[in-house]
């Protein structure tokens, strides 16, 4: 089984600033995927970004980027130029090739105007 | 078109009642899931079906019974509802063969047991 740990239950950031959310995971798999999901107050789960473990290059999606450290089993999410709409719960997740998904406990991010 | 749709979105009922939540996906995925999200926002896997076959059945009371009539549908039936069943239930789907690695979620169904 895999475990995913998010050690920051709550974080806040000023609008337009940059914030980094931490995530570590533990797996014995060689091939796996990592994800960040966003859950705004509307409760819809939205995929923010994903990373294939075999790819060394860090994934980026507009203002969102990850710092994937495979040896350290670390997968942090950086949000640049934070916007009010980024206020949400953020979940880190991993999945193996059998498509079992493992979620962290979430980080509640508040963007302050 | 909604990729993963679940109904109803909200459900308020009395203890002891039986209720069902329906889920349908139009993505052609071969695997569907039910997750429970409690008041602390923890997401817990309940069941997973691959091509109508149960592949994950976590420790869930047997009052919860999933049913998959075909690979596009995974319904959740709950008998004898208890206060602790109050939560948001998410249906999700993914593709195992030729893995894209993404889990698609429905909008969630908020169940309140009084």
Could you write out the three-class secondary structure of chain B?
CCCEEEECCEEEECCCCCEEEEEEECCCCCEEEEEEECCCCCEEEEEEEECCEEEEECCCCCCEEEEEEECCEEEEEECCCCHHHCEEEEEEEECCCCCCCCCEECCCEEEEEC
CA pair distance B32, B39, nearest whole angstrom: 23
Q: What is the mean pLDDT of residues A6-10?
A: 96
B42/A101 Cβ within 8 A: no
Beta-carbon contacts below 8 Å between A and B: 53
Q: What is the mean pLDDT of residues A98-102?
A: 79
pLDDT at A63: 97
pLDDT digits (tens, 9 = 90+) for B46-87: 989 888 788 777 778 999 999 999 989 999 999 999 999 999
Most B CBs within 10 A among A27, A35, A36, A101, hence the mutation to make, goes to A101
pLDDT confidence band for A98 (50 / 70 / 90):
low
| Residue of chain B minimizing CA distance to A88 | B41
A89/B33 Cβ within 8 A: no
CA pair distance A108, A56, nearest whole angstrom: 28
């Amino acid at each position: 089984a895999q475990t995913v740990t998010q050690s920051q239950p709550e974080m806040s950031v000023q609008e337009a600033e940059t914030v980094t959310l931490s995530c570590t995971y533990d797996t014995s798999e060689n091939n796996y995927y990592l994800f960040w999901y966003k859950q705004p107050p509307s409760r819809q789960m939205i995929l923010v970004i994903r990373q294939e473990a075999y790819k060394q290059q860090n994934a980026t999606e507009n203002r969102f980027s990850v710092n994937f450290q495979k040896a350290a089993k670390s997968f942090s999410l950086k949000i640049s130029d934070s916007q009010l709409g980024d206020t949400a719960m953020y979940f880190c997740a991993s999945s193996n090739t059998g498509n079992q998904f493992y979620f962290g406990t979430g980080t509640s991010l508040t963007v302050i105007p | 078109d909604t990729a993963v749709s679940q109904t109803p979105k909200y459900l308020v009922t009395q203890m002891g009642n039986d209720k069902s939540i329906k889920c349908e996906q139009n993505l052609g995925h071969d695997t569907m899931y039910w997750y429970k999200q409690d008041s602390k926002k923890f997401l817990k896997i309940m069941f997973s079906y691959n091509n109508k076959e149960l592949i994950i059945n976590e420790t869930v009371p047997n009052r919860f019974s999933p049913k998959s009539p075909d690979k596009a549908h995974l319904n959740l039936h709950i008998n004898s509802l208890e206060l602790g069943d109050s939560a948001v239930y998410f249906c999700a789907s993914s593709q195992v063969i030729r893995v894209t690695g993404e889990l698609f979620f429905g909008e969630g169904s908020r169940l309140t047991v009084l």
